[in-house]
A = this chain, B = another copy of it.
Amino acid sequence: MAYDPKTMSDTKLQSIPEPARVDGDTPALRLFSLLEVIARKDQFFSLQSLVEETGLPKPTLHRMLQQLESAGMLQRDADGRFYGPGLRLRRLAEDLLLNNTVHGARHAVLRKLVEEVGESCNITALSGSEVLYLDRVETQAPLRFYLHPGSRVPAHCSASGKLFLAQMMPAQRRRLLDQVPLEKYTAQTITDFDALEREIESVKREGHAIDNEEFLPGLFCIAVLVPRPGGRSNTGIAIQAPVMRVSRDKALQFLPALKRAANAIAAIDAAAMPATRTAA
């Protein structure tokens, strides 16, 4: 609140005023995108200010705001000059956060794990051909990698990614890897398909995967899958640390704690699943 570059940029000299992309493949998604811009504001705003911020044509923006207002997602100030979030939008946000027991519980597990091992940890999922960070808790240690939830990394050079690959049928894995060739990020990155297959065999045997500076120099990572009874898992959990602090041996000592956390998350997810079949 004290220092917001966006607000500051009203003194537009010749600086680029941050286009604040509002886009999407479909009108509805553009609306969401607009809401995201709005959600980040802590002040009311005028139509014109949004026009300048987003670059959208005025009539378009006018229609969008009107639509959101008539739906109760936004509210206008008394004289109709300024918009702010509306009752309905707030309630939607509250409902989401209140009922989202899954995320809260997962996060708690992650925090506990970080406390136990003293290194940053994250929960991951396979999205397309990339690994997506669903959640992350940072260690307190001063030396650390700063990566945030929502980041994406290639599957072939991350511990979680190898786990996801390892549970696929060979043909399926081949198809996926053919789309995005094995890019080399560091000296250690496995870029040869056969070498990767061998690595994956080892992952299958061990039940866990390791990334030894294969994506970022100096970053060591160990991961296991969150088990899913009777099916492939789409959730992994990983510990990430600077090689300076965590050798392979030390990482292996973390395994029991890591597996305990994975099981805890499996239990949470199971509880959030609809009963297999309710009497109709």
Contact status B87-A150, CB under 8 Å: yes
Copies of this chain present in the complex amount to 2
Q: A22 interface residue, CB < 8 Å from B?
A: no
Contact status A78-B149, CB under 8 Å: no
Total interface residues on A, using CB and 8 Å?
Answer: 67
Instruction: Please report which residues of chain A, range 61-114, place their CB below 8 angstroms from some CB of chain B when the two chains form the complex.
Output: 67, 70-71, 73, 75, 77-79, 82, 84-85, 87-97, 99-103
Complex Cα distance, B273 from A231, in Å, reads 53
Contact status A26-B67, CB under 8 Å: yes
Q: A191 interface residue, CB < 8 Å from B?
A: no
Q: How far is the CB of A139 from chain B (nearest CB, A)?
A: 22
Q: A28 interface residue, CB < 8 Å from B?
A: yes
Complex Cα distance, B279 from A11, in Å, reads 7
Contact status B67-A28, CB under 8 Å: yes
Given contacts A90-B100, A279-B11, contact A79 B232 (CB under 8 A): yes
Instruction: Please report which residues of chain A, range 96-142, place their CB below 8 angstroms from some CB of chain B when the two chains form the complex.
Output: 96-97, 99-103, 125, 132, 134
Q: How far is the CB of A21 from chain B (nearest CB, A)?
A: 14
Q: A46 interface residue, CB < 8 Å from B?
A: yes
Contact status B273-A101, CB under 8 Å: no
Contact status A96-B100, CB under 8 Å: no
Chain B residues whose C-beta falls within 8 Å of the C-beta of A132 in the assembled complex:
87
Given contacts A71-B32, A274-B49, contact A85 B96 (CB under 8 A): yes
Closest to A28 in B: B28
The 10 sampled A-B contact pairs (Cβ below 8 Å) are A24-B71, A39-B95, A44-B274, A78-B231, A78-B235, A79-B231, A85-B96, A90-B103, A93-B94, A97-B97
